[in-house]
A and B are shown apart, each in its own frame.
Chain A
Amino acid sequence: MKKIMVFTVVVALLIPALSFARKAKYEVVEVNNGGGIQGTVKTSLKVKDPVVPINIQPKEDPKETEIERKTCGKTQQAGIYIVSPSNEVKNVLVIVEGVKKGKAAPKTDLTINNNKCRFEPLVSISYVKSNYIVKNSDPLFHNTSLGVLLKDKRRAVYNLALPYQNQEIKKRNRVAGLIDLKCDAHSWMRAYVYSSRHPYVTITDANGNYELKDLLPGKYTVRFWHEGFQEETKEVEVKAGKVSKLDVSFSKTRKPDFLGRL
Chain B
Amino acid sequence: MEQFSFLQKIFRLSLFCFLLVFMTLIPALQGVNKAYGDDEDIDEDRVIELGKKVYETRCMICHGSKGDGKGFAGITRRVEKNGRVLKNYARDFTMGVFRFRTTPNGCLPDDEDLMKIISNGVSRSFMPPHKDILSLEEKKSVIEYIKTFSERWEEEDPCDVIEVKKPDWVGSSLSVKKGERVYKEMKCWECHGEEGKGDGPKSDKIKDDWGKPILPFNFVTGELKRGSSAENIYITFTTGLDGTGMPSYEDSLNEEDRWHLVSYTLKLMGKLKSLH
Contact B207 A174 (CB under 8 A): no
- A177: min CB distance to chain B, Å: 11
Contact B105 A57 (CB under 8 A): no
Interface of B is mostly: loop
Contact B10 A145 (CB under 8 A): no
Contacts A16-B6, A174-B106, A184-B247 given; does A163 touch B17 at CB 8 Å = no
**In the assembled complex, which residues on chain A have CB atoms less than 8 Å from the CB atom of B96?**
155
Contacts A4-B21, A22-B154, A187-B205 given; does A9 touch B14 at CB 8 Å = yes
Give Cα A161–Cα B6 distance, bound, in whole angstroms.
39
In the complex, per-residue mask of B85-112: 1 if CB is within 8 Å of any chain A CB, else 0: 0000000001111000000011000000
Q: Would you list which residues of chain A between 183 and 208 have a CB under 8 Å from chain B? A: 184-185, 187
Q: Would you list which residues of chain B between 17 and 44 have a CB under 8 Å from chain A? A: 17-18, 21
In the complex, per-residue mask of A1-30: 1 if CB is within 8 Å of any chain B CB, else 0: 000110011011101100110110000000
| Partner among B10, B152, B206, B252 whose Cβ is within 8 Å of the Cβ of A163 | B252
Give Cα A160–Cα B253 distance, bound, in whole angstroms.
12
Contact B13 A16 (CB under 8 A): yes
In the complex, B246 has a CB within 8 A of chain A: yes
Contacts A57-B201, A159-B245, A164-B185 given; does A184 touch B14 at CB 8 Å = no
**In the assembled complex, which residues on chain B have CB atoms less than 8 Å from the CB atom of A171?**
251
**In the assembled complex, which residues on chain A have CB atoms less than 8 Å from the CB atom of B190?**
59, 141, 185
Contact B201 A58 (CB under 8 A): yes
In the complex, per-residue mask of B237-268: 1 if CB is within 8 Å of any chain A CB, else 0: 00010110111110110000000000000000
**In the assembled complex, which residues on chain B have CB atoms less than 8 Å from the CB atom of A159?**
105-106, 240, 242, 245-248
Contact A160 B251 (CB under 8 A): yes
Contacts A16-B6, A155-B96 given; does A161 touch B249 at CB 8 Å = yes
In the complex, A154 has a CB within 8 A of chain B: yes
| Partner among B13, B106, B201, B245 whose Cβ is within 8 Å of the Cβ of A12 | B13
Q: Would you list which residues of chain A between 127 and 180 have a CB under 8 Å from chain B? A: 141, 143, 145, 147, 153-164, 167, 169, 171, 174-175
Give Cα A153–Cα B10 distance, bound, in whole angstroms.
35
Give Cα A20–Cα B10 distance, bound, in whole angstroms.
12
Contact A161 B14 (CB under 8 A): no
**In the assembled complex, which residues on chain A have CB atoms less than 8 Å from the CB atom of B248?**
158-161
| Partner among A4, A8, A57, A163 whose Cβ is within 8 Å of the Cβ of B202 | A57
- B178: min CB distance to chain A, Å: 16
In the complex, B9 has a CB within 8 A of chain A: yes
In the complex, B160 has a CB within 8 A of chain A: no
Interface residues on B, range: 35 or more
In the complex, B163 has a CB within 8 A of chain A: no
Interface residues on A, range: 35 or more
Contacts A8-B18, A16-B6 given; does A163 touch B185 at CB 8 Å = yes
In the complex, B209 has a CB within 8 A of chain A: yes
Contact A184 B206 (CB under 8 A): yes
**In the assembled complex, which residues on chain B have CB atoms less than 8 Å from the CB atom of A58?**
201
- B19: min CB distance to chain A, Å: 10
* Max count, chain B CB within 10 A of own CB: residue among A23, A161, A175: A161
Contact A184 B209 (CB under 8 A): no
**A59 to chain B: closest residue by CB:** B201
* Max count, chain B CB within 10 A of own CB: residue among A12, A22, A57, A59: A12
Contact A161 B252 (CB under 8 A): yes
Contact A163 B187 (CB under 8 A): yes
Give Cα A60–Cα B197 distance, bound, in whole angstroms.
14
**In the assembled complex, which residues on chain A have CB atoms less than 8 Å from the CB atom of B105?**
158-160
In the complex, A70 has a CB within 8 A of chain B: no
Give Cα A12–Cα B21 distance, bound, in whole angstroms.
12
Give Cα A184–Cα B206 distance, bound, in whole angstroms.
6
Contact A163 B186 (CB under 8 A): yes
**A169 to chain B: closest residue by CB:** B251
- B137: min CB distance to chain A, Å: 26
In the complex, B59 has a CB within 8 A of chain A: no
**In the assembled complex, which residues on chain B have CB atoms less than 8 Å from the CB atom of A163?**
185-187, 249, 252
Give Cα A158–Cα B106 distance, bound, in whole angstroms.
5
**In the assembled complex, which residues on chain A have CB atoms less than 8 Å from the CB atom of B152?**
155
**B14 to chain A: closest residue by CB:** A12
Give Cα A153–Cα B17 distance, bound, in whole angstroms.
38
- Given known contacts A153-B210, A161-B247, what 17 new A-B pairs fall within 8 Å (CB)? A4-B21, A8-B18, A8-B21, A12-B16, A13-B10, A58-B201, A145-B245, A155-B152, A155-B243, A158-B105, A159-B240, A160-B251, A160-B252, A184-B202, A184-B205, A184-B207, A184-B247
